[in-house]
Each structure stands twice: as structure tokens, then as C-alpha cells.
Structure 1
Amino acid sequence: MPTEAHHGLAAHEVVMLLETDPHRGLDEGEVARRQERYGPNVLPAATGGGLLLRVLRQFHHPLIYVLLAAGTITALLHEYTDSAVIFGVVVVNAVVGFVQESKAEAALDALRSMVRTRARVVRGGRERMVPSQELVPGDLVLVEAGDKVPADVRLIRPVSLRVDESALTGESVPVAKDETVLPATAAVADRHNMLYSGTLVTAGSGTGVTVATGAETELGAIHRLVGSAETLVTPLTAKLNQFSKVLTVAILALAALTFGIGLARGQDGAETFTAAVALAVGAIPEGLPAAVTITLAIGVARMARRKAVVRQLPAVETLGSTTVIGSDKTGTLTENQMTVRAVWTPDGAEYEVTGSGYAPQGEIVHGTDGTVAVPRPRSALWWTLLAGAACNDAALTHEEGRWGLVGDPTEGALLVAAAKGGLDPAALPGEYARAGTLPFSSERQFMATLHRDPGSGGGTGHVVLVKGAVERVLPLCGGWLAGDGTVRELDADAVLRAAEDLASRGLRVLATAVRTDSDPRVFDEDVLDGTLTLTGLQAMLDPPRPAAASAVRACHTAGITVKMITGDHAATAGAIAERLQLFGDVGGSRGDAGVLTGADLDALPAEEYPEAVDRARVFARVSPEQKLRLVEALQSRGHVVAMTGDGVNDAPALRQANIGIAMGRGGTEVAKEAADMVLTDDDFATIEAAVEEGRGVFDNLTKFIVWTLPTNMGEGLVILAAILFGSALPILPTQILWINMTTAVALGLMLAFEPKEAGIMSRAPRDPDRPLLTGALAFRVVLVSTLLVAGSWWLFSWERAEGAGLAEARTAALNLFVVVELFYLFSCRSLTRSMWHVGLFSNKWIIGGVTVQALGQLAITYLPAMNTLFETTPINGETWLRILGIAALASLVVAVDKRLRRQWV
């Protein structure tokens, strides 16, 4: 029988269906048989390629194929230095890719570990503790406060049971549980007669029958979603793959053309083949894989300093292309700490409660004049705060400088509110000793406690304190407490209007009541009816993070749409969204922009679904499957999606998103392992900083590519020209490798340290369909390549005509390539502005790199050992002047082109 149907059956029907005993449980023989049938209560291990296959996958790339072929051929031609350099680049790139893939696959291991705990069961009439992996369907399970639920369980005997299901459903407060039969169509978040594997019991106790274990649990369903979610390539990876394929075809075509032309001209076959290989080696940007890795790594380091830890290197760049952020509400946009925001008393006064979270720091102030309210003992405000704090089973903690909570978040909020009003929650159990309790239940919907009253005559009297849902507490009251301390006739309509006003702001409203001079001998629900005095209302919410609203505005300014995707109620989610101004970028309200629930999404026709999802800003009461579908729908609309979250229920969507972002402090290990990036401060505002860094990384990678390609193209074309004209090669393969590798390290990589340009967060996200190089940038690459080919060929020919030897002419051409690259590097520091605008010395790394490269060029030109190794020879001062003149002319041409084409870059 499917797990989803058990909540729709009566408890005794479930017991019969699973052939178990509601009091004695299963006997050991039956347990053994079912363990053999159903297997262990663990999530299945992921199946995938072995170690060898994962290693081989790292070499599955067009440019890598060409590099491997070039490395092999150069080795066969006994050019061992060239071959070693090429193979070294390939190996480094493969190692980085293998490490990244290993980290990504850890998500499923974290999910499996969540169910490995111990469970309390009844077997053969005896209570015992067993490893949770030994549970089978039909086992009788016992749970109490503090336990992690070990499997999916249908409750049969709950006692004031409340369960924190936020990690599974996104519900911001613990859910009260009972055994009531529910409709078969009830969503997971509404199945109050079920306990689900991996959730946490916060209060009460209960007994239930295990209905699903291992992969058949709701956690198992999420495990399957995580496993099936496609691990997407990043925008940069996709563009580089496409770029590499085009470049590979072009390189092979040019090499084949070169070889064919040489043979047609009757040139020596071996020499022509060597020239073709030289062309291929020259045209391949060997430094590109290393440059991408190092640039991304620098971005990772910058983000870590801004409290965003990146687990996958390409995620750095993906942030810069993000067009939509789908954010979980609880614990991401909000603090996941319930906080009382307002208190209403029957005299019509409304008070604002300042501060947020569980830290008892803040004040209660009058809503009219803003003065601090000091509750007068036994006034309505004082009784309201006392009832919330004394009729309470939670406790505040203070460890390592951080305030926390043991117990229900709602009760924690009431304790903090009392502390802000001058009451000491820690002292209340001693001052108002509890003599009886009517615990909260889903049927009762209120909690009542009997206390010794130190303020009564002689301190021997008793008082009843009550807190609960307004609609349940109000019928128990016969009056309300007026401002002068007297009991007046209850105006139920006024109370309901106040409650509705508070609820309309997205606040959760609780009523408090008191009964003084109570008889301690008679304390039950019946005697409370009509005898209580209403003291007031307390309204609370899980507050938005302080910097979240400004971060959302910054994202809107940057052209990024923020959408809230949560399992919480629509009213709560909509109210938080309005506080965060999620609807601000469309100039509307929650009604105009759209708040869609999970039921709304299921009702949408398939053809309307993507557009409706794109238009809406808030999605409430959604399941893990729906979160995953939302991400897929946004991606189908061409969006680059960043998904944030902290719960188990977020893991599939985190994996499917272009970039998954998990919370470091409050997030589950599952979410962290499924994500590409983890926020160490759990602050949505950190995403804004990460987006800024990501855009800077993409800019710097683009600058490197625009800088390096002209050299590779120029080197290839120079070889082709030599074959066409039947001339000697102006530069040799060994010299080409020197140019490519030294300039990439000493010059090109310095662009990775380039500071972010002004206004980077004021421009729209990069269009995912936009090519890596725009038409204007592609023209610039061709322009500089042409200048390199023309300049080096002219210089090579000039030197030969002036009587210089072949080695001297080649040395001149080699240095020309490097010096033009050096000048061009300063131009590439900004793709639109002049180098004077960005500041000549604003990137000190470039100055250091230029110095190192200059020393390298002097070494390869004048050191005898380098002359022998690279077949170079010293050149005179006049040659250097010609080299500098050509480089200056090339820079001037590039500057003019940049100014003319600025708007198209």
C-alpha cells in the first residue's frame, strides 16, 4: 500500500493492514522475516561510474583531445620539452575536475546518514532500543521530546505531541500531532497524524506504527529527487564548451590547410607536417584551462572573505550571470526565530516590541507616542506577559555568546517578550510554582497552568494562566481586564477586530487569559469555561533578517528577480514578502504580482505553468517535488537560477539549480552537500556580495580570453603565411610554447586580480544566450591578431633584408609578440574604458607580472643557455626600438577601436 494513503485510514485499519499489534508490536521472528523482505531502513547508496570512469570523464573535452594529440605528436618528433608542457596542462585540468565532481556527489551520502540513529520500539510486548536501520513496516515506535523520528510512522496514541518539520516541509513552527483521520489528498505538511523520518519531536510523546522505511519514506522520495536532478553546466562552462568546439574545428582546419598547401607547393613532407603541428600548438590557448581555474580560485578566496564558501569553482562565475534567486523563507530570508512584534490589551492600547530573535534585548514601547512601557504589576500588560512566560514549557539558553532555545519557538518568543517587559523568565518557576497543567493539544488549542500566586493575600492563593488560539480562548472568558485593573464586560467583537488587524500584517496571534483566586482542588477544562478574564493578545512572526530587505533591493537594481519559495502558509509568506519588498520591482502588491500556493501550481495547465511561475514572486505550501519543478520551469524560460535553502526539502532544488546556496549555521548537512555555495553567516545579504564577486570574476575571465586569443590566432596565421609564401618559419614551436606559457602566467593571470569595475551591480545580468565574445570583442581579437601577424612578418622580413641571421630575425619576431601582448594587457584591463580611466597602478599585480616577463625576455634573448635551448640570439637596440614602435602603434589602433565600439561590447 502506498505510504501516501496511511493518513487517510483510521489507526486500527493501519494496524490491521500491516498485521501488527498496537500494544505488543511485532515478535522477533516476524521482524526478521520483514527485514529480509524490506531490507534495512537506510537510503540506497548511489550507483554511478567507477573511479576509472570518473577519471576518464575529465579528459572528455574537444580542446583536451587536440592537446593530447599535439602532445603525442611532439613526443614522437622528439620534442620532449614541448610534449611535457602540454601533458602537464592536461593533467592539472583533469585533477581539478575530478576533485570538484567528488565533492558534488557527497549530497546523497549526507541524506543517507540522516536516518542512522537509534529508535525505541515495542517488540513482543517488551520496550527496547534498536538501531534505526533495523526498523521494519509494522514496528511499534515510541517517541518523546528530543527524539529524531526514525521512519515514517502513523500515530495511534499521541500525547501533546509537537514536531518540528521545518527541514522537510518549510513550516516555520512545530506542528501539533493527533491521530485524526485525514483526507487522502492532504499534503505532507497537513498530515497531522503522521511522523516523518528525519524530523524532530519538540514536545510531548507518542506511539505509532511504522508504515515506511528506507527509500519508501518521504525522505527517500527526496533522495530520489536529488539523485535524478540534473547537475547543470554553468553558463561559463557551456560557453567555453561551445567556444572550444568551434576553436577545435578551426585549428584542425587551419592545420590541415597548412599541410595541404605545403605539399601542393612541393615542400618537404616532414617539415610541412612539423609546421602544421606548430600551427596547432600555437593556436591552442594552453594557458586557458589554468587561467580559468586560477581566476575562479581567486574569486573563491574573495567570496570566502565575504562569508560565502564556494564548494564548486564554476559556481563563482554562475552567480554573476544569475537572473533569478529562488529563496527559501524560513532561516534564509527570515531568522528562523519567532519574535513577538506587538501586544494588544483590552483598553485599546497596542505596544510595539523591539528587537528580534531569542536574545532578550529590546523594549516594549507604546504604539502611539513611542515611549517605553513599564508594565505595572497585575495590569493587563503585566498579566499578558506573565501568562505567556509562566504558561510555558520552553527555556532560553545562552552559550558561546549566542542565545538559543530548548522547546517550542512560539513559547520561546513569549519568554523573550516577557524579559523585554522586565520579567525574569528564569525566576518565574520559583515565584509562581506550578501546581497543575492542561497541556496544549490540537483539539484543545490552548494550554492552561495552575500556579501558586505570590501576589495574592498572604501568598497562599492560586492563579490560572492560559494562552492559545484566539477563537478558543475567547469563549472561555467572561470579561476582560480594563486599564484601571477592573474586570469589564467582554467585547468579543473588539477582540476579534484587533486579532484580525494583527493577522492581516502576517502575524501569528495568541490570546492570554487569567483567573485569580482559583481553587487548586478543581482544575480541569470544564471549570474554565466562562470564568477566565482576557488580558490581551500577543502577535509574533519569524522576522526578516535585518539586511535582507536592502539585499533584495540591491538584487532588483542588478536586474535579478527574487522569488520566495517556501512550505509555509501563503498569508505568512505574503506578509514577509511585502516587508522585504519582494514585489517592489514590479511596482505591485502581493495580489498584483501573485502569491501561488502548491495547490494553485497543481491546478495550472502545463502550457501556462512556466509563464505563471515567471510572473509570480511568492510560492507557498509547496512540496519538494514542486520546488524542483519550479526551478526547471524558470530554467525553461531561459533564466540562470540560484536557489537558496537550508532544509532537507530544499536539497533537490539546490541540486537542480544552476547554483545551489545553503545556509552554513542553520542548514542541514544535506542542504550543504547538495549546494554549490554555503553562506557561513546564513544571511541572504551575503548573496548580494557573492553576486558582485561573481560578476567581477566573469569580467576578468572575459578580459583574459580577449587578451590571449589574438596571440594564439596570430601565431597560427604566421605559420600559415610562411607556408603560403614558402618562407622559413618566423617563430619555432618551442618559441611559441615559451610565448604562450610565460605570458599566460606572468601577464594574463594578473587580470584575475583586476578590481571590480564601478557600476558592476547597476547593470543587468548577462544574457545566458549571449556569446562568450560579442561581435565587437570578436572584431577586436581579429584586429589585434592581424596587427600581430602584419607586424611580426614585416619585422621578420625587415631583419632578414638588413642582413640579420635567421635566429636573430626569429628572436625579433618572438619579442614582438610578447611586447605587443604586454601593451595590449593594459588595454584589456577594461573592455570599454581606456587604461588611463581605470588607473595605471590600481592593479599592482600587473606591474609585478610585467617586470617578471621583461626579465624573462631579456633572459631568452641574451643568456647563452637560453639561446641554445630556444634557438634565439641577442638583438641590438635598433631592433628593440622597432619592436616598441610597432607595439605602441597597435595600442593606439586598439584604443581607437575601443572608443568607437564602446556601446557594443
Structure 2
Amino acid sequence: MSAPAMPTLTNAEHHSLSAHEVVLLLETDLSSGLSEAEADERRERFGSNSLPMVEGEGVVLRILRQFHHPLIYVLLAAGVITALLREPVDSSVIFGVVLINAAVGFIQESKAEAALESLRSLVRTSARVVRGAQERAVASEDLVPGDLVVLEAGDKVPADLRLVRQHDLKVNESALTGESAPVRKDEVALPVDTPVADRRNMVYSGTFATAGSGAGIVVATGAATELGEIHRLVGAADVATTPLTEKLAKFSKTLTVAILALAAATFGVGLLRRQDAVDTFTAAIALAVGAIPEGLPAAVTIALAIGVARMAKRGAVIRRLPAVETLGGTTVICSDKTGTLTENQMTVQTIWTPENTFTVTGTGYAPDGFISDRHGAQVPIGGDAALRWCLLAGACCNDAALSNDGGGWDVVGDPTEGAMRVAAVKAGLDPDRFAAECPRVDAIPFSSERQYMATLHRSGQNDHLILAKGSVERMLDLCTSQMATDGTLRPLQRSVVMHAAETLTARGLRVLATGLRSGVGPDALHADTIPEGLVFTGLQAMLDPPRPAASSAVAACHSAGIAVKMITGDHANTAASVAADIGVLGDDDNMPGVVLTGADLVGFGAEQYSAAAERAKVFARVSPEQKLRLVEALQSRGHVVAMTGDGVNDAPALRQASIGVAMGRSGTEVAKDAADMVLTDDDFATIEAAIEEGRGVFDNLTKFITWTLPTNLGEGLVILVAIATGATLPILPTQILWINMTTAIALGLMLAFEPKEPGIMARLPRDPDQPLLTGALVVRIVLVSALLVISAGWIFNWELGNGASLAEARTSAVNLFVVVEAFYLFSCRSLTHSVWRIGLLSNRWVLVGVTGQAAAQLALTYLPAMNTVFGTAPISTDAWSRIFAVAVGVSIVVAIDKRLRRNRSMGRRRRRTSHWSSSPDSLIRRW
């Protein structure tokens, strides 16, 4: 038998064909499906219904990459050379630093590719398929194009299906499209250009059936599914380098070149002065090792780890250490709506009756709240008949149920029905009691054709009651009167009701109407019909409400100069309404282009796309690929982008973003694995707190570098000056290593514990192009280095000239370096303010570190064993007094420099403020 001619039509177009055409195209059968032989043959041709494996880097390559760093190359070379020169102490310390740094980096990357495997596991399930006219369960991997799959409520969709029949089928597609409510499905063919989120005749791999039943033909499997396309996007998305990584890379390259040039100059000068080549070469190596900030990798890791711990206490779990600092440099937050800015729990907010409008307090599925009138006063439920029956109709013409497993309230069933049931409970009504007193005896389920649901209840021995709810237009067709507050019936005012419904819909609310009819017989719902003449009782308007802290968090981001954009798969009106409620959209944001849809973006070229990403604040009905492109467009304009999300559809953009933020409670495992940070409380406000911590981490890293570089530069210059002048080395190579390693651990790392400075969130975001060290800080480093070189040379020569031994003079120089560093450490606790303003005791770890360093220096100076290893000797009290006098003098000079620069900076800031408003729309232009 020849192989069947399989279709060339793409999966993206099956929704535009009728069910009969799809059956013919895929050469299958609506009653018997494929035969087993045909299924086996197609599986050979199309492969397994699973996402492809992506080969990652091997362990060896990942380990070797940890050594791919300019400073590491220099340290490795120095370690080898010192070992060849038989300096075991020096080489052991150097190699130890390198190995520790590599181990930390390897551990950080061990789970970097988990997102792709989570996507693969997402589609592993079982499926009920009809083959050879027999329905049976098969593994989802065994499905092939043309298979007839049967779906029931609770089933995970195993492949992309074109529906051929359904009965009240609803599918939760929030993880794929961002749609907050389950989508009602039908079999009607749609236009070719219908976006994924609006294809009612399709169901997609990885989504869930929440109600009803149906059957569909498999039109795509494995990598050809919509989920497969997301898998491809996740794999293709670049893991963006963080600002810290980029800055450290540039800084390290510049520093490496400078150190090698300085070492080469030292060696060249020594040869020109006809000094011993081996001694000069040893001195050049000592200079290189001394100039390299060995403690920098450890300081970076520890500072980030402390930031991780602080963020964890505030509800943010960091998966990649550099993400801590990246948050501090964020300029734009692209936030998903459903489950991120909103509760992801439908809530009735407004109830409209023919004579009153009521507000429902409380959010989510917890039955906490009450019904209030226009003045905010609680309404007694017995005082308004229309309100009471509107709530009872919504709660009892209903198949949902509330549950509380101890971890919070949830709804079993349709979220919309759940919201109406919660509203009734908030009003003090008991739907279960009503069901017991007026049991349901018949029902007409909701369908897209009927657009209403009706239930029949026995209210007496021979008396029955109809309750109904549905779309406003359809319910008005069924109603002939409306209920007044006192329970009397009056003529239906259709135009007034429609105007009220349109007003509520314009606010982004979903509106359902309710009605009833009493005194009917037991066969009132016979033949799937409902008699006309219902009494209209009211409208219930609901919305997935914003999180309580979302507004203040958005406002805090704006005050920090961070733009917030909403990117969602939900409808434009709903998205715009939520955005306006929480402050993403302001009162003046009514111009064209501020709210865009995925359909708008389709026709944009590259430049238009980039401009739209910058200008617009809300993007609705966008696809996963469009989310990814928006992140890329913002990054191309120099932004540091934080992307938040919880669904599978967010994974590619989360991976591409500078910082991906996933929701810990409602988020899928795919989103969590693709993200850099997970919010344990799913609260957007936690992002603002994490940004604050990130800014503090970057501040502390800058403080450490500003503190450590003067010592490294000073040590190198001391050796260079000694070689250039033909003088004796004031400090030995082993003594340089002692200074670098002990001070980095006991002194410098204490800056990682420095608390955040006041007003840290009142500053603009850092310019992504700003180097790690600004010109002012470079001047500060050069100033302190020069003071160290001059003072070390002075004290070394003073001690020699006053009868001290060479070992004693070198010990004085070593201690001078350390004491000056200790005094300078207090100055570096704030790069702009004095230590007295930030509080001398506000970081007690600094005092602990200084005490520990003092003990180590006393041991180095006075213990015979240390004297032998490091070539030191005890020094006099007079020598110590001179050392401390120099340290105080250096501190005074640094304080004066800090004060002068602060005054100039404040003047520039005042001038800059006159040209910039405080809104992120204007601040964003600086990027």
C-alpha cells in the first residue's frame, strides 16, 4: 500500500477549514479514527509526539569555561611561574583562589537548562484515542496526525487538535495564551488570520479541559505544536548577560591590560638599570599578583549571596546570583497581567439592579467582604428583593463549588460561576441551604448557542421555580418584566439595562444578567427549552482584580525611574482597565499607540516595532513570539528589562529578558525554570522590594572595588618605583599576598553587609552604558593609591634611616598599608556621605572585621613563626604612632575630596532636575 499523501497545510491554518475538510485532508474517519497499522506508519514518518531533546554543554566544557577570564589567566600564569621559582606559599594561595572561584561558577550553572526539560515533561500524559472504531488509552507520545482524540473535563490536551464535536467544552488556556478565564469551544470554521487566543475550534497541547466534553482530530504533534514553537523560542532565546557580568568583563580586560603593561614596564626598567634579570622578573610577577584584586571574585559572590538571603526574606528566590545585581539596574518591567498584577481569581465587583448599584468588597475566592451601597454602607440583604434574587440566581443556577484545603480558598469548576457563588456568601446568603430547601430537579447547561443556563427548583409540593443567568442580550430576550427593590414587578426597561451593561463593560468588566420565574410546573424545562416571561433581577459585573499592593508597587517603580509595561494575552479592554486601576496607564494616556494588540504589531516593521515597544504601555492579545520580540526590542534600545510571568507562554521572554521573574504559587514549572527569580508570594510588590535590594548590592560591590583597588594599585606602584629608582623593595611578594588576602576577607567583605543607604529608590536607574567605575571614583582610587605609595615609601625610608632593620622597615610598610585600608574602609561605607551621617555602628560587621584584622597584624608582627614565613619583625610603639598618623591624614584628605565632589554633584543634580520631570515617560528618554 502506498503511503498516504499527507497534507501540506500548516497547523496554523486548520482552524480556517470545516471539520469535514480537516477529516478529508488528514485522511481519517470521524467514527473509527485511524487503524493501528496506519498510526504505526505515521509515527515512523512524523516521529514521537514529544518535544526534541536539546544537547547541552558537557561537564568538562562547563568546568573549563570557569577559567575563561582575563584575570584568571594572569593568576594562573603567576601561579605557575611562582611554583617554578620555588615559592610554594605564593603559588598555593594563587591556585586556591582560582579553584574556589571556578567551583562557585560551576555550581551556579548546574541547572541553567532546566526550562527545556520542564517543557518536555509538560506534554507527557495519557490520551483517549479512537483507533479501529475502538476507544482506548494510549501514551501521549504515541499520537500521530489524524488521530481522533476524546476529551472530558479534567483531561490535559495531549496534542494540537481541531475540534470536530463538543458539548459545552471549556478549556483553560491561561498557561499558553494568558487568557484569565476558561475559553468556551465550538467547531465553527474561523478566518485564516484569527490569532491563537481566539481560535475557539482548536485546543492546544499542554492546556486543560475544565468542563464539558469533546473530540478532535490531531493536526500537529511534538515540535509542530504551539507548545513546540514555544520550546523552540526558549531554546533560541539568548540568555542575556547581566549588566554586572558585562561591566566586570570590561573592567577585568582593562585591568588585565594595565597590570601586564605595568609588570612589563617594571621588568623593562629593571633590565635597563642592569639589575639581576631573575630578581627583576620576580619583582614583576610580584607586581602583577599584587595589582590583581584576588578578593574580587569572592567579594562579588558573597555580596550577591547576601542579597539573595535578604531577598528570600522578602519573598523573592534567586536562581542565578548575578540576577541580584541586575534587578538594581532595571529600567523597564514588562509584566504579565493574569496572576502577576491580578489575583487570577474572578471576583464580582459591582451588582446593578433596576433601582440601585452596589459594590462588592473583598477580592479573590475567599468569602470575606460585604455588599455596600453608593455611600459605602453595608446593605442588609433582606431589604432589597432584587439584589437578593440576583445573588441567589447567580449562586444556585451554578455548578461551581468553593473549597478550602487549608492553603486558601479555591473554586472547583468555572471561575465565573465561582465568583457569583462567593458574592452570594459575602452577602450572608447560604446557597447550600437554598439547595436543600429548593432542590434542583432539572437544568439546561450553558452553551455558546443558547448563551444562558437555567435550573428548575422545587419550591413547594406542586410549585417550581426557574433561575437563569447568561449574556445580557439573551436574558433580556427571555425577560418581560423587572423586579423592584420591594419585590414588585414592573415593565422591563431594556434600553436602561443595556446602557448599564455597556457602562460596566467599558470598565473591562465581564457582565452577566440574572432572572427568575416562579409558579411553573415540573416540566417547565422540557425539551431543552425555557419559557419566556422571566423576571429580570440584575447584572453582576466581575473582573480578575488587581493585587492589593500592585498600585503602590507600580507607583514606587515610577518614582524610581522604572517604566512598567503590561504584556498580556488577555483582551485589550480588560488589560487597559486593570492597567488604569493600578497606575500603569495614567489619566493622560488616551492617545493612539499607548494600548496595542498583537494584531497591531503584526504589520510593524523593525523600526516601528522598536518605537512601539518604547511608546506603548499595554500590549494585549500578544503571542509568545511577540512577547519575546518586545523584550528584544527594548533591549536593543539599551534597556535592562525585567519580564514577569507565570505561564508557558511567558517562558521564551523570561529566558531572553535581562531578569526573568516567575510566580512561585501560580506559575508553571516551565516559567520558574526559565526565570532568574521566583516570587514565593506571587506579589508584584515583591519585585519593587527586590529592585531595592539589587541596588543595594550594586552599591556594595562598587564600594568594595573602590576600596580594594587603591591597595592593589599602590602595591604595584611601590614595586615599580623601587625598580625604577634601584631601591630595595619596601614590600616582599609574600607580604603582598598577605595584605591582599587577609584584608579582602577581614575588611573588604564586610562591605557586603552594608545596609542600604537612605533614598536608594529615589534615584534614577543606572545608565546601562555607565562603566563600573565612574570618573570620580577613578580619581578617588588614584588619589588614595598615590597617598599609599608616598606614605609607604616615606615610612620605609624613615625606619631605615633611624636604625631599623630591613625586616622592621618592611613590617612598618606592610602595617601602614593595612591600617590605611582599615581607615579608608570606613570612608568607603558611603561613597557620597560621611561615616558619621550613615552611623558608625550601623554595620557592626565592619567593627568585627577590623578587630580580626588587627589581631592578624599583631600576629604577623610579633609571632616568631610568622616572622620567619613572611620576613617580618617586631616594630616599636613609635612606628605604630607614625603609621596611625599617616592613616588619619589620608582619611582627612579623602573626606575633603568626598565633600567637594558631593557639593559639585548636588549642583549638577539641581540643574538636571530642571530639565527632567519625575515621570518614567520622560526619564526613559535618557536611555
Cross-structure match for 2:385 = 379
Separation in structure 1 between the aligned mates of residue 43 and residue 85 of structure 2, nearest angstrom: 64
Separation in structure 2 between the aligned mates of residue 401 and residue 286 of structure 1, nearest angstrom: 48
1:529-678 equivalences under 5 Å are 530-584=532-586, 588-591=588-591, 594-678=594-678
Select which of 167, 174, 183 maps to 1:159: 167
CA contact (8 A) 1:308 1:678 kept: yes
2:765 aligned partner, one-letter code: P
CA contact (8 A) 2:524 2:531 kept: no
Cross-structure match for 2:306 = 298
Moved more, 314-323 or 475-484: 475-484
Separation in structure 1 between the aligned mates of residue 439 and residue 160 of structure 2, nearest angstrom: 39
1:429 aligned partner, one-letter code: A
Separation in structure 1 between the aligned mates of residue 606 and residue 448 of structure 2, nearest angstrom: 38
Separation in structure 2 between the aligned mates of residue 543 and residue 402 of structure 1, nearest angstrom: 17
Separation in structure 2 between the aligned mates of residue 87 and residue 34 of structure 1, nearest angstrom: 58
In structure 2, relative to structure 1, the CA distance for the partners of 1:25 and 1:527 (3 Å cut) is: closer
Select which of 388, 391, 399 maps to 1:393: 399
Separation in structure 1 between the aligned mates of residue 241 and residue 92 of structure 2, nearest angstrom: 30
Separation in structure 1 between the aligned mates of residue 590 and residue 673 of structure 2, nearest angstrom: 33
Cross-structure match for 2:340 = 332
- 1:351 is the counterpart of 2:341: no
Cross-structure match for 2:209 = 201
Select which of 514, 517, 522 maps to 2:516: 514
CA contact (8 A) 1:776 1:904 kept: no
Cross-structure match for 2:847 = 847
> How many angstroms does 1:46 deviate by?
1.4
Separation in structure 1 between the aligned mates of residue 194 and residue 695 of structure 2, nearest angstrom: 44
Deviation string, structure 1 residues 428-471 (Cα, Å, up to 9, x no partner): 43333222222212222221222222xxxx44311221111112
CA contact (8 A) 2:387 2:485 kept: no
Separation in structure 2 between the aligned mates of residue 210 and residue 43 of structure 1, nearest angstrom: 16
Deviation string, structure 1 residues 278-310 (Cα, Å, up to 9, x no partner): 010000000000000000000000000111111
Deviation string, structure 1 residues 576-601 (Cα, Å, up to 9, x no partner): 111101124xx623447711111112
1:17 aligned partner, one-letter code: L
Select which of 467, 476, 479 maps to 2:478: 476
Separation in structure 1 between the aligned mates of residue 522 and residue 461 of structure 2, nearest angstrom: 14
Separation in structure 1 between the aligned mates of residue 91 and residue 527 of structure 2, nearest angstrom: 87
> How many angstroms does 1:525 deviate by?
7.7
CA contact (8 A) 1:509 1:538 kept: yes
Cross-structure match for 2:73 = 65
> How many angstroms does 1:378 deviate by?
8.9
Separation in structure 1 between the aligned mates of residue 489 and residue 837 of structure 2, nearest angstrom: 75
TM-score, structure 2 normalization: 0.95
Separation in structure 2 between the aligned mates of residue 233 and residue 515 of structure 1, nearest angstrom: 65
> How many angstroms does 1:487 deviate by?
2.1
Separation in structure 2 between the aligned mates of residue 326 and residue 664 of structure 1, nearest angstrom: 17
Deviation string, structure 1 residues 780-804 (Cα, Å, up to 9, x no partner): 0000000011110111111122222
Separation in structure 2 between the aligned mates of residue 580 and residue 592 of structure 1, nearest angstrom: 20
1:102-501 equivalences under 5 Å are 102-346=110-354, 348-367=355-374, 369-376=375-382, 379-453=385-459, 458-501=460-503
Cross-structure match for 1:689 = 689
> How many angstroms does 1:484 deviate by?
2.8
Separation in structure 2 between the aligned mates of residue 838 and residue 793 of structure 1, nearest angstrom: 33
> How many angstroms does 1:207 deviate by?
0.6
CA contact (8 A) 1:583 1:593 kept: no
Separation in structure 2 between the aligned mates of residue 406 and residue 377 of structure 1, nearest angstrom: 31
> How many angstroms does 1:335 deviate by?
0.2
CA contact (8 A) 1:477 1:529 kept: no
CA contact (8 A) 1:155 1:206 kept: yes
Select which of 72, 86, 92 maps to 1:84: 92
CA contact (8 A) 1:340 1:540 kept: yes
Q: How many residues align?
A: 897
Separation in structure 1 between the aligned mates of residue 360 and residue 527 of structure 2, nearest angstrom: 32
CA contact (8 A) 1:438 1:525 kept: no
CA contact (8 A) 2:287 2:715 kept: yes
3-state SS of paired residue (2:761):
coil
1:747 aligned partner, one-letter code: L
Question: Aligned residues: percent identity?
Answer: 68
**C-alpha RMSD of matched pairs (Å):** 1.4
CA contact (8 A) 1:319 1:691 kept: yes
> How many angstroms does 1:276 deviate by?
0.7
CA contact (8 A) 2:56 2:113 kept: no
2:430 aligned partner, one-letter code: D
3-state SS of paired residue (2:190):
coil
1:730 aligned partner, one-letter code: P
Separation in structure 1 between the aligned mates of residue 721 and residue 738 of structure 2, nearest angstrom: 21
3-state SS of paired residue (1:104):
coil
Separation in structure 2 between the aligned mates of residue 582 and residue 180 of structure 1, nearest angstrom: 37
3-state SS of paired residue (1:722):
helix
Deviation string, structure 1 residues 544-580 (Cα, Å, up to 9, x no partner): 0011101111111111111111000110011111110
2:760 aligned partner, one-letter code: I
3-state SS of paired residue (2:519):
coil
1:681 aligned partner, one-letter code: D
Separation in structure 2 between the aligned mates of residue 396 and residue 755 of structure 1, nearest angstrom: 45
Separation in structure 2 between the aligned mates of residue 690 and residue 254 of structure 1, nearest angstrom: 41
3-state SS of paired residue (2:382):
coil
CA contact (8 A) 2:157 2:205 kept: yes
Separation in structure 2 between the aligned mates of residue 467 and residue 757 of structure 1, nearest angstrom: 57
Cross-structure match for 2:46 = 38
> How many angstroms does 1:723 deviate by?
0.8
Separation in structure 2 between the aligned mates of residue 527 and residue 690 of structure 1, nearest angstrom: 57
CA contact (8 A) 1:510 1:537 kept: yes
CA contact (8 A) 1:438 1:524 kept: no
1:44-63 equivalences under 5 Å are 44-63=52-71
> How many angstroms does 1:366 deviate by?
1.4
> How many angstroms does 1:612 deviate by?
2.1
Deviation string, structure 1 residues 604-625 (Cα, Å, up to 9, x no partner): 3322222222121111111101
Deviation string, structure 1 residues 68-108 (Cα, Å, up to 9, x no partner): 11111111111122112111221222222222222221111
Separation in structure 2 between the aligned mates of residue 654 and residue 753 of structure 1, nearest angstrom: 30
Moved more, 99-108 or 264-273: 99-108
CA contact (8 A) 1:800 1:806 kept: yes
Separation in structure 2 between the aligned mates of residue 499 and residue 629 of structure 1, nearest angstrom: 37
> How many angstroms does 1:529 deviate by?
5.8
Unmatched 5+ residue regions in structure 2? 1-8, 907-927
Separation in structure 2 between the aligned mates of residue 592 and residue 23 of structure 1, nearest angstrom: 51
Separation in structure 1 between the aligned mates of residue 451 and residue 734 of structure 2, nearest angstrom: 82
Unmatched 5+ residue regions in structure 1? none
Deviation string, structure 1 residues 183-206 (Cα, Å, up to 9, x no partner): 111100000000101111111000
Separation in structure 2 between the aligned mates of residue 464 and residue 827 of structure 1, nearest angstrom: 79
